[in-house]
């Protein structure tokens, strides 16, 4: 399976301050770690999202407001923009759009988009949680526009992807699977009873995990909840909102995932994408221990590129996690239509 790793130097221009958790050193640490690894190249992609592309997901008034803050400003009490932030946000979305277009055209492959500012908290008309434009949702919308019949979004960031669920949770051609720390941020988001709305009812599934949940819990969710649902849904593209703040050293969550755990999770994505005949796009979200973020991204890249296997993890999932998975499977499986006749590389991939 081919792998591209893509970014742009202008993303470092988003600089809300060195004391801010979402500062340039996050991406610097990732790029430094990848540069020290043999046979890993990072491609700089010159793609800027247009007003029309952003407005396909966000309210035009919100897009206009953000674009008007090219000199800096604030979207809320913790989401700050510097002079280079608007360009960075547009490029982040543009890089994701370009990656989607390339993957859809090829019908195969994997891309890791090293983008910032992150996106999964951004809703139609508001940025929050350090997020400006919802990169994963913008990518999913573009995929559907160019003929991908169904898109799956797997969000493994420690925080609930409330923006993604608000933007796409009403669609039956999008499945959202979100595993995160229960009650972390935003408060009240990502509950087990949030299962989509309208035509998208039963196409959103949340797995809120207790603090201190670790490798075995995350992998159990992927193996016994995400995998069977995605097999039924048969997406033509898998997008991973790849946050790394579930790592045990991260200061903004209280979870216990290790670098080995992220490697196993990447291996699961690689295997599932191959099984379904669907391209995969990983979009960087959170992760606020910069050194750990670099190591975790490197491990995922090495696994996705086939440079190393996923390895193994220790321990067993907690009874609470087993219960959540069982509850969600009982609620979802009978209501998610099983797609038949979808062949690797076939019509569902375009």
Q: Say how many CA atoms lie within 13 Å of 253 toward its Cβ.
A: 34
**Of 202, 141, 137, 133, nearest in space to 165 by CA:** 137
Let me know: does 339 contact 348? Beta carbons within 8 Å. yes
Tell the residue number behind the tokens 């849904």, with chain if given. 233
Q: Beta strand pairing status for 73-74 and 80-81? A: antiparallel
Active site residue 121: yes
Q: Which of 8, 58, 120, 121 is catalytic?
A: 121
Q: Kindly list the catalytic residues.
A: 121
């Amino acid at each position: 399976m081919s792998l591209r790793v893509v970014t742009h130097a202008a993303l470092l221009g988003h600089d809300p301050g060195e004391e801010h958790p979402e500062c340039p050193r996050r991406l610097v640490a990732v790029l430094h770690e990848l540069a020290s690894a043999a046979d890993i190249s990072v491609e700089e992609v010159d793609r800027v999202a247009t007003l029309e592309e952003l407005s396909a997901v966000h309210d035009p008034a919100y897009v206009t407001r953000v674009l008007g803050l090219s000199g800096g400003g604030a979207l809320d009490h913790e989401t700050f923009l510097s002079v280079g932030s608007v360009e960075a946000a547009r490029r982040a979305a543009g890089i994701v759009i370009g990656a989607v277009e390339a993957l859809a055209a090829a019908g195969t492959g994997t891309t890791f988009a090293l983008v910032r500012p992150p996106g999964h908290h951004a809703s139609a008309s508001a940025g929050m949680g350090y997020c400006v434009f919802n990169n994963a949702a913008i990518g999913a919308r573009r995929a559907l526009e160019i003929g991908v019949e169904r898109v799956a979004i797997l969000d493994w960031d420690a925080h609930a992807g409330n923006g993604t669920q608000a933007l796409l949770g009403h669609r039956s051609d999008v499945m959202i699977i979100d595993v995160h720390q229960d009650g972390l941020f935003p408060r009240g988001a990502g509950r087990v009873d949030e299962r989509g709305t309208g035509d998208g009812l039963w196409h959103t599934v949340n797995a809120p995990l207790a603090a201190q949940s670790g490798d075995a819990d995350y992998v159990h969710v992927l193996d016994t909840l995400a995998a069977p649902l995605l097999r039924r849904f048969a997406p033509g593209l898998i997008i991973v909102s790849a946050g790394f703040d579930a790592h045990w050293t991260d200061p903004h969550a209280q979870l216990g995932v290790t670098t080995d755990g992220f490697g196993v999770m990447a291996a699961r994505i690689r295997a599932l994408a191959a099984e379904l005949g669907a391209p995969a796009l990983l979009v960087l979200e959170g992760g606020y221990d910069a050194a750990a973020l670099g190591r975790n991204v490197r491990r995922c890249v090495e696994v996705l590129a086939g440079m190393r296997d996923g390895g193994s993890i220790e321990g067993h999932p907690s009874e609470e996690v087993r219960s959540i998975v069982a509850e969600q499977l009982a609620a979802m499986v009978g209501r998610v239509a099983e797609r038949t006749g979808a062949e690797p590389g076939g019509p569902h991939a375009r």
